[in-house]
Amino acid sequence: MITTREEMQMARENIIRVSRELHEIGLLVRTWGNISQRVDEKSFIITPSGIKYEDLTPEMIVKVNIGDLSYEGDVFPSSEKAVHAACYKCRSDVDFIVHTHQVYASCAGTLGIRKIVSYFEEEDMLIPVAPYALPGTDKLAENVAKTVKKYRDCNAFIMANHGTICLGADAREAVFEAERMEVACNNFLMDVCKTDMHHGVEVGYNSHLEDGRIVYDIPDTPERVKHIHEAIYRKRPDVRYIVHNKSEAVMTVSRRANHMRPLLDDFAQLIGYSIRVPSNEHGKDGTSYHNIKRHVNAIFSLNDGAYCVGSNEDDAMAVAIVLDKGCIAHTAVMRHGEGHYLSLFECYKMNRHYRKSYSKLADIKK
């Protein structure tokens, strides 16, 4: 229970500290995910929507009513506040919640199965998977609540095709659940899906625009690669940065796939509804590549990774990070033999919402 102004200030500062710790170890990235702490039986405080964790201040941590989701102040609370409220209603022993889009747990949640059975160190671990619903909806909160009620002995849950929700009596317990779930899900992907892939961005040939001129990070960028950069800037006047991602997962997809359908919410939001991958040798000489389109932010090149685009360097890198996770999920589903893909309608709705609303919040609040 938080009863004094000093305790409230300490709680808000603690949420910021925890968010930055999770950001440093890679479980929270940019503005994705959220953290909350129970105040009392009727309310909790939660991180805001659309603000980077490194930019948070205590005044930005929003107090929300558990019952009707009303909130205090002018800062918008996380769009997943209903999920947090549902968990606090279901579990009176929970006072701290961490929601992440961590890589291996999110990928395991695309396989279309209701629970992950794996291990952490020498301990068996069961991780329930809540059925999919669009992010920020009452249906998602309802699905999470049903799953939390069903598995009352569990504190770590996956939200299918989305991310995780980790519960604890305090921050330490919730963070530990997120950490051990990530290890357990990586073990599951390696053992069951034969997917042992490191997550990250392996940079190839990047570029950006300066005064309308293309500047390459590597001066001796091959001509075939320059042709691709030139075509992207020509067809996408909104693009000013290109990150060439040659990570293991992205390279694997660029060699073997010819089509990627979104398996994860953030993929649909940042990258697009579907991605075409060149499936013949023409892709290597820079004369044939797919999806240089207005709302598709990753362009694959045959056996050469993908070019991730954005209006600034941060946005282009965000696309590269999400693409890598999406490619790990794609590979896991292919090797597992089944998975749950997002529908075209769901992808379109999320992508449109992100472009029109969510992606602008960080700029508005600076």
User: When comparing pLDDT for 119 and 50, which is higher?
Assistant: 119
What average pLDDT score do residues 222-235 get? Answer: 94
Q: Grade residue 366 by pLDDT with cuts at 50, 70 and 90.
A: very low
Of the ranges 171-180, 285-294, 344-353, the best mean pLDDT one: 171-180
Give the Cα separation of 26 and 154 in Å (integer). 23
Specify the pLDDT at position 286: 45
Specify the pLDDT at position 354: 77
Give the Cα separation of 41 and 44 in Å (integer). 8
Q: Tokens for 254, please give them.
A: 């660029």
3 state SS of 159: strand
Kindly report the number of other CB atoms within 10 A of residue 238's CB atom.
10
Give the Cα separation of 108 and 105 in Å (integer). 5
pLDDT in tens, 280-324: 555 454 445 556 888 899 999 988 999 999 999 999 999 999 999
Which domains does the chain carry? 5-192 (3.40.225.10), 207-364 (3.40.225.10)
**Mean pLDDT of the chain, nearest integer:** 91
- Beta sheet of 34-40, edge-to-edge order: 62-65, 43-46, 34-40, 96-100, 163-168, 156-159, 123-130, 115-120
pLDDT in tens, 64-101: 999 999 999 999 999 999 999 999 999 999 999 999 99
Q: Tokens for 212, please give them.
A: 């309308």
Least confident of 178-182, 194-198, 246-250, 291-295: 291-295
Specify the pLDDT at position 134: 94
Which helix (H) or strand (E) segment is 115 a member of?
A: strand 115-120
